[in-house]
Structure 1
Amino acid sequence: MRREAPSAQRNRQPILDVLKHHLPAAGLVLEIASGTGEHVVHFAATAPYLTFQPSDPDDGARASIDGWVETLRLPNVRPAVALDVTSSIWPVDHASAILCSNMIHIAPWEATVGLMAGAGRILPTGGLLFLYGPYRRGGRHTAPSNEAFDLDLRRRNPAWGVRDLEAVADLAAAQGFDPPVTTEMPANNLTLAFKRA
């Protein structure tokens, strides 16, 4: 039932070390594409003053998320919901923050467009959109390993790929977000923290 991802176990604490400086003092935190659930339970365990709503379009992923929550007995994590970012209707109509790790590059560009549109709909002024993953900067990969990863992704699905940070920031700006606070992370990843203007 519960799934484990070695990469999630490696990166959840470095992500949290940055995320904790941006999280709101109260409210609902929606996680998009929660995957195994290892991120959301790690974050929720350290922020009992927040309520976390995990989501994933995959049935197996949602079962894994709920399995982790049940095992760790976290009262501040809601049952996982199915959420398609490209839909104009989400199962959550308001949140104080949205978290999304490692989705943008393993999905068609339309998913990023949908993520930004949804964030624009449900986040209030001052709301947080927090992204994690690999990005190109100035049209260039930040490391040879990211370039190889990008080629592998595009071989697997031509609609996937490491995205340009500037293109993602432009989409966010069109939805009323300020430029992101960008933090360099291990393994040539970045966190992008957008605030709703």
Structure 2
Amino acid sequence: MQQEKPYSQACENNKPFILEKLTLIFHTPATILEVGTGTGQHAVHFAGHLPHLTWQPSDHPDNYQLCQPWLEDCRLGNILAPVALDVGEVDWPVPEIHGAFSANTAHIMAWEEVQAMFSGLGQRLPENGAFCLYGPFNYNGTYTSDSNRQFDQYLRARNARMGIRHIEDMEAMAGDNDLFLESDFEMPANNRLLVWRKR
């Protein structure tokens, strides 16, 4: 039943706006790895509206089955079974991929994990493959809004390894992994959708 599923209001709020951009980026048949699937609401929404994609959910080994109720309820044939993915591991248990997506992970992961995510995707994405990363980011060394400042303080109070990342640090780190920032879309609620492209 609906109330038994895990639920994220943020996913419900942002999914139509993210879908609008993903439709432009992932417009040909492809297998897309979602890093940090969480509740599964994004996976179901995107796979349902983009039937030409094969969607591969994944999440931390402690959390990867959280999405199962949503996946079982939707019964979409283009969503694969979720996999337990620790981005810090050398071997990722994922199929051959053509693109990747992740939402609201970079500020929750430790910086070393963000680096590991980009390293792993840099190794696995084909030439010209896209990685779409959604969330809040800082620019020119500062916050883009008071709400982001408060959110960052909240994150760091919970865990000092968390925090909103600086776009300049992200670009430098991505470059080390043969990825470059192709597009930077402004999104609602002081978020961005960053499109990283494999060289």
Q: Please give the range of the TM-score, normalised by the shorter of the 2 chains.
A: over 0.9
Q: Among residues 31, 35, 43, which one is paired with 2:38 in the alignment?
A: 35
Taking the aligned partners of 1:58 and 1:41, their CA distance within structure 2 comes to 20
Residue 116 of structure 1 aligns with which residue? 118
Partner AA of 1:23 in structure 2: F
Once the two structures are superposed, the pairs formed by residues 153-172 of structure 1 within 5 Å of their partners are 153-172=155-174
Q: In the TM superposition, what is the alpha-carbon distance from 1:7 to its structure 2 partner?
A: 0.8
Pairs aligned (count)? 196
Q: In the TM superposition, what is the alpha-carbon distance from 1:130 to its structure 2 partner?
A: 0.5
Please give the per-residue CA displacement for 1:35-62, whole angstroms capped at 9, x wherever unaligned: 0000011000011111000001154x43
Q: In the TM superposition, what is the alpha-carbon distance from 1:92 to its structure 2 partner?
A: 1.4
Once the two structures are superposed, the pairs formed by residues 1-16 of structure 1 within 5 Å of their partners are 2-16=5-19
Question: Could you list the runs of 5+ residues in structure 1 that have no partner in the other structure?
Answer: none
Once the two structures are superposed, the pairs formed by residues 60-79 of structure 1 within 5 Å of their partners are 61-79=63-81
Q: In the TM superposition, what is the alpha-carbon distance from 1:111 to its structure 2 partner?
A: 1.1
TM-score w.r.t. structure 2 length?
0.94
TM-score w.r.t. structure 1 length?
0.95
Once the two structures are superposed, the pairs formed by residues 143-162 of structure 1 within 5 Å of their partners are 143-162=145-164
Residue 87 of structure 2 aligns with which residue? 85
Q: In the TM superposition, what is the alpha-carbon distance from 1:93 to its structure 2 partner?
A: 5.0
Question: Could you list the runs of 5+ residues in structure 2 that have no partner in the other structure?
Answer: none
Residue 104 of structure 1 aligns with which residue? 106
Contact preservation (8 Å) 1:93, 1:122: no
Taking the aligned partners of 2:189 and 2:30, their CA distance within structure 1 comes to 31
SS for the counterpart of 1:30 is strand
**Identity over aligned pairs, percent:** 36
* Stretch deviating more after TM superposition (62-71 or 151-160): 62-71
Partner AA of 1:103 in structure 2: T
